[in-house]
Structure 1
Amino acid sequence: MKTYMFKRILATSILTCGLFACSSLIDVKPRTAIDSSTALVSQDAINAAVNAVYDALQSTDLYGRDLIAIPEVLADNGRATNNSSRLVAEYQNQPGAHLINWTQDYYGINQANLVLAALPKVTMTDAQRNSYMGQCLFLRALMYFDLMKSYAYMPTAIINEYNRGGVPLILPGVLTLEQVEYPSRPGIDAVYTQILADLTMAVDKLGATANSRGPVYATKGAAQALYSRVALYAGKWQEAADFSTSALASGVGAFQTKANYVAGWRTAINPESMFELNFQVNENIGVNTSLQTTFTTLRELGNTATTGGFGDVVPTAALLADLELEKDAAGTVLDIRRQLYELGTKGRGAQNVETTKFLGKNGTINLDNVPVIRISEMYLNRAEAYYNLGKVAEALKDLNTIRTRSGLPEKTGLSGDGLLNEIIRQRRLELAFEGHRFWDLKRLGRDIIKLPTNLPFTDYRVLARIPISEINNNRNLKQNYNY
């Protein structure tokens, strides 16, 4: 990747966003700037602009840290150590301490919208146009989905008296103040309908895009995988099952065996990734807020003598106990995923067991590619969907695929709540410290049981606070309850 600067045009709107900021782009002739008035009139510029949408996701507010770390600490997987004072308020579920992805996500959405509007006007082959369109639709769907997770209830679990709807749907790109709109919040279902429509078209447009380009680009397989996740959250069980099956057959991501699963977390690109954000050396987030420094004090595996990061978020005792629950006759922990957690250093204070899923895999401290969707999730999505469809045998088979790969014995005879709870338990263990736990509990309408205090699902703090500046700028926008 090379670095390019697009001229940024700001609009004081609900989006509070402009055209393009500094971005790392692929296969574009080097240039120091592209004038905003002519930025999207060539294939080179379109290519650069599409890559800028990917780069928008690298923000610390998004997948650079918060969308991975905060859902763990808001829930019962992560405990804030107070080594740097970061994420302590989120761990305590203090009012207003939540995700703050509103501005960055709408900024990225605006970039995608501008590209989508420009594509019909630029000379290129149909295959190229379809690829760019599919990528932007995939990315727009992902960003709208992340906004909905943070600021709205999910279709499967709603507190009606607190429900203020979804998030504003803005599909045209904004370049000037005259183009700014001030929309209200549509219903939750309307936003999910748009997200799934984007993904449906993305699957179609990416059909000719080689899946071998994955996982650092959107592919048909990645779009099918994201559709599976969104459908699961929406309670569309058959669609969740069907798209999980399609994603598993896509050739994007390789399901790992028991023997090589842990090693997959030591490579720059996780072999299980179906969509992964790629970070280059010049995009290192650094020692304060990178995922490595957030999750561990270690610089390298097994070396407790040299301190690197802060280890701001470590696994709770409850998560570790769950990982260690199943043992053999000699008392040895069976679950190989426990190997992804080890003792950190004393350099920041108390010595804690920490996760090593992010440990400078790109060869540089604090620099990691970030898996957004892994193939293991597809088995868990489909298992839960099958459970809700009454297909117990099929659900149990997918559940056991994850269990046996993890070194655990097969479960037999499970049904009803016992089966569902084991599926959710395996989601917790498999996807821990990847940004899933809070959303799983939220979509199931479950209370969060943890120290220092529990968070009932009926508590208004389950939803994030919309930025005050957006409420002040847009009279049609309703704030979430009690903020």
Structure 2
Amino acid sequence: MKATKKQLSIFLLSGLLFGSISSCKDFLDLAPLDNRVEQNFYKTEKDAQEALNSVYDALQWHTNAGGGGFSPDPMMSDIASDDAFAGGSSRSDSPDMIQIDQHNMLTTNSLTRVYWANHYTGIYRANLLLQKLPDIPMSEDKKNRIAAECKFLRAHFYFDLAKWFGNIPLILAPQSPGEYCSPAAEPAQMFGQIALDLIEAFPALEKADLRTSKAHATRWSAQALLARVYLFYKGVYNGDLQAGSTPVNAAYALQQLKDVIDNSGHTLLENYADNFSKANEFSKESVWEISYSSDNPWFDWNYIQGGEGNMQPLMQGPRINGDPNYNSGWSFAPVTQELNNAFEPNDPRRGATILSQADDLSGAVSTGYQHTGFFSKKYTTTNEYRPINGQYELNWGNNYRSIRFSDVLLMAAELEVTTGGTQAQTYFNRVRDRVDLPGKPATLANIYQERRVELALEGHRYWDLLRQGLTVANQNISIQNKRGPGYVGDQIDFNVTFNPATRGLFPIPQSEIDQCAGVLKPNF
């Protein structure tokens, strides 16, 4: 089951707001390429639904019309953490990805520019639909649901941006030429608005699983995301949130998680590895999932985001030939020995998480840059996802499981510990019992360790390190003169030094600072 995505007329791309204005001035001057323009759109319920699909569409993007490389968020955050290196074919394959790995990012990094532009495009689309929605003839219930989904998605885009860039502009309405440059909001204002969007979305979102909602955000998705937002803000900025008139503290965040645990119907799959199979997309364990598909076969390398494929599995797949189970990829994000060692000896999650050259692959593996002998097994080039039609590289349909129920349980356990509750051990035990591991006390240290192995290579480790503080991030990410037995290459390739001066942030793209000189300032 996949979410439907419609290809809308060119006007939806022309309002990328200031986040990509520097690369599309000529584009904005073009006449409309078809007869569907803003002046005759947003008139019917069908138009509103197509516009909502276009907001969801931006969740899928790992590149954009301006080019500059591929930036899957989960993979980039794993590379920034101690769970993966940059990888690729050689040192010259993706210097910008190596900058992320080495924590030495330049303001001209093309991946950060792509990431910035894509997310602000999604925000623009959500803002425009929210502005137009009141005048579209349809039932109030449907208007409320579409508005709620727009707010969930806007919160989702802003949370991604705020994690990576820190202080960024907060824009809540479509902008016109001359308004593109906005100063950065303070973190309390930004995260407060993210929380407010989610809380305002609660009442109109379906209390359903993702199969019933047809991959649209649900009430449970929004409640779980709010808890994640709170935990990140609390850890990094050491404060609670104010969402309009609603104070969001640990007790409030925990209340949302308990509602998901007790009333949503979500639960753990019996077999951990099943979470990442095609048959278990939108499973009972998946609280929020980003949909990809090969149903719309795509060929155009110049407009990759026009398709619905996921670039991350192809990028992370091993460079292999002749294996009966796995297809050739680009070998980005090779997994570290440290992650392999983090699992307990009998933990079955290691085998479900890490694709081992020695244990899992029978074909001929070509050695890439920063080769470790380990690859991601959760999002990779398995036969069941191999594209049948379209360009091989552009049509991988692996969905991204953004929030799993096990994450909900571990967030709830963490908040129970910090608030002095009594359910931390119960929630913690559920996660370990699923994989038949012996009991451990539900301390904060053990919960963080459990998060590392339970959620490994799903894009969460980096943020968990940052919210424990820059000292903890530095201690774990900085590695000098350490090699695993399968490492191939010079030692310098595997040395990493975290830079606390950056606070773990991406630099705001230089093109945006130049465009908005004096208004938008560097973030470090």
Instruction: Quickly name the TM-score band, shorter chain normalised.
Output: 0.7 to 0.9
**Structure 1 position 6 matched with structure 2 position 9:** yes
Indicate how the Cα distance of structure 1 residues 410 and 210 shifts in structure 2: closer, same or farther if over 3 A, else same: closer
Contact 1:4 1:33 in 2 (8 A): no
Indicate how the Cα distance of structure 1 residues 305 and 14 shifts in structure 2: closer, same or farther if over 3 A, else same: closer
**Structure 1 position 464 matched with structure 2 position 506:** yes
368-377 or 344-353, larger mean C-alpha shift? 344-353
- For 1:92, give the aligned amino acid: Q
1:41-72 deviation line (CA, Å, top 9, x unaligned): 1111110010001111111159x852110100
Q: Secondary structure at the match of 1:37?
A: helix
Indicate which of 125, 145, 151 corresponds to 2:139: 125
- For 2:477, give the aligned amino acid: I
1:204-229 deviation line (CA, Å, top 9, x unaligned): 22157786534621111111111111
303-312 or 401-410, larger mean C-alpha shift? 303-312
Indicate which of 20, 36, 39 corresponds to 2:38: 36
Partner of 1:476: 519
Indicate how the Cα distance of structure 1 residues 367 and 210 shifts in structure 2: closer, same or farther if over 3 A, else same: closer
Q: Secondary structure at the match of 2:375?
A: strand
Partner of 2:246: none
Q: Secondary structure at the match of 1:477?
A: coil
99-108 or 115-124, larger mean C-alpha shift? 99-108
Partner of 2:491: none
Indicate how the Cα distance of structure 1 residues 306 and 95 shifts in structure 2: closer, same or farther if over 3 A, else same: closer
1:293-340 deviation line (CA, Å, top 9, x unaligned): 22222789x9379751122112110100012xx33xxxxx23334333
1:387-445 deviation line (CA, Å, top 9, x unaligned): 22133x42222222212212311114x5xxxx211111111111111111111111211
**Structure 1 position 341 matched with structure 2 position 345:** no
**Structure 1 position 274 matched with structure 2 position 287:** yes
Partner of 1:27: none
Indicate how the Cα distance of structure 1 residues 389 and 283 shifts in structure 2: closer, same or farther if over 3 A, else same: farther
Whole-Å Cα distance in 2 between the matches of residues 478 and 267 of structure 1?
44
Whole-Å Cα distance in 1 between the matches of residues 42 and 467 of structure 2?
39
**Structure 1 position 76 matched with structure 2 position 82:** yes
Whole-Å Cα distance in 2 between the matches of residues 356 and 208 of structure 1?
32
Contact 2:413 2:425 in 1 (8 A): yes
Partner of 1:155: none
Indicate how the Cα distance of structure 1 residues 15 and 79 shifts in structure 2: closer, same or farther if over 3 A, else same: closer
Whole-Å Cα distance in 1 between the matches of residues 150 and 460 of structure 2?
23
- For 1:404, give the aligned amino acid: D
Whole-Å Cα distance in 2 between the matches of residues 438 and 78 of structure 1?
10
Describe how 1:227-246 pairs up with structure 2 within 5 A: 227-235=226-234, 236-246=249-259
Describe how 1:362-441 pairs up with structure 2 within 5 A: 363-365=385-387, 366-391=396-421, 393-412=422-441, 419-441=443-465
**Structure 1 position 88 matched with structure 2 position 98:** yes
- For 1:266, give the aligned amino acid: S
1:81 Cα deviation (Å)?
Answer: 3.1
Indicate which of 291, 306, 309 corresponds to 2:312: 291
Describe how 1:107-186 pairs up with structure 2 within 5 A: 107-152=121-166, 166-174=167-175, 176-177=176-177, 180-186=179-185
Contact 1:298 1:304 in 2 (8 A): no
Contact 1:13 1:473 in 2 (8 A): no
1:350-380 deviation line (CA, Å, top 9, x unaligned): 6722221123576334331111221111011
1:131-187 deviation line (CA, Å, top 9, x unaligned): 1011100000000101100011xxxxxxxxxxxxx221110123x425x24221121
Whole-Å Cα distance in 2 between the matches of residues 410 and 148 of structure 1?
36
Whole-Å Cα distance in 1 between the matches of residues 340 and 161 of structure 2?
30
Whole-Å Cα distance in 1 between the matches of residues 188 and 50 of structure 2?
33
Whole-Å Cα distance in 1 between the matches of residues 372 and 231 of structure 2?
38
1:106 Cα deviation (Å)?
Answer: 0.8
310-319 or 289-298, larger mean C-alpha shift? 289-298
Identity of aligned residues (%): 26
TM-score, normalisation: structure 1: 0.82
Whole-Å Cα distance in 1 between the matches of residues 265 and 139 of structure 2?
25
1:480 Cα deviation (Å)?
Answer: 1.4
242-251 or 110-119, larger mean C-alpha shift? 242-251
Indicate which of 256, 267, 288 corresponds to 2:269: 256
Q: Secondary structure at the match of 1:167?
A: coil
- For 2:277, give the aligned amino acid: R
Whole-Å Cα distance in 2 between the matches of residues 10 and 117 of structure 1?
17
- For 1:187, give the aligned amino acid: E
- For 1:192, give the aligned amino acid: F
Whole-Å Cα distance in 2 between the matches of residues 275 and 116 of structure 1?
22
Partner of 2:215: 216
1:449 Cα deviation (Å)?
Answer: 2.9
- For 2:102, give the aligned amino acid: Q
Whole-Å Cα distance in 2 between the matches of residues 264 and 34 of structure 1?
40
365-374 or 82-91, larger mean C-alpha shift? 82-91
Indicate how the Cα distance of structure 1 residues 68 and 131 shifts in structure 2: closer, same or farther if over 3 A, else same: same
Indicate how the Cα distance of structure 1 residues 168 and 420 shifts in structure 2: closer, same or farther if over 3 A, else same: same
Q: Secondary structure at the match of 2:334?
A: strand
1:251 Cα deviation (Å)?
Answer: 2.8
Indicate how the Cα distance of structure 1 residues 311 and 351 shifts in structure 2: closer, same or farther if over 3 A, else same: same
**Structure 1 position 55 matched with structure 2 position 75:** no
- For 2:162, give the aligned amino acid: M
Q: Secondary structure at the match of 2:182?
A: coil
Q: Secondary structure at the match of 1:203?
A: helix
1:453 Cα deviation (Å)?
Answer: 3.9
Partner of 1:318: 338
Whole-Å Cα distance in 2 between the matches of residues 351 and 305 of structure 1?
20
Q: Secondary structure at the match of 1:199?
A: helix
Whole-Å Cα distance in 1 between the matches of residues 125 and 17 of structure 2?
15
- For 2:522, give the aligned amino acid: Q
Indicate how the Cα distance of structure 1 residues 114 and 306 shifts in structure 2: closer, same or farther if over 3 A, else same: closer
- For 1:354, give the aligned amino acid: F
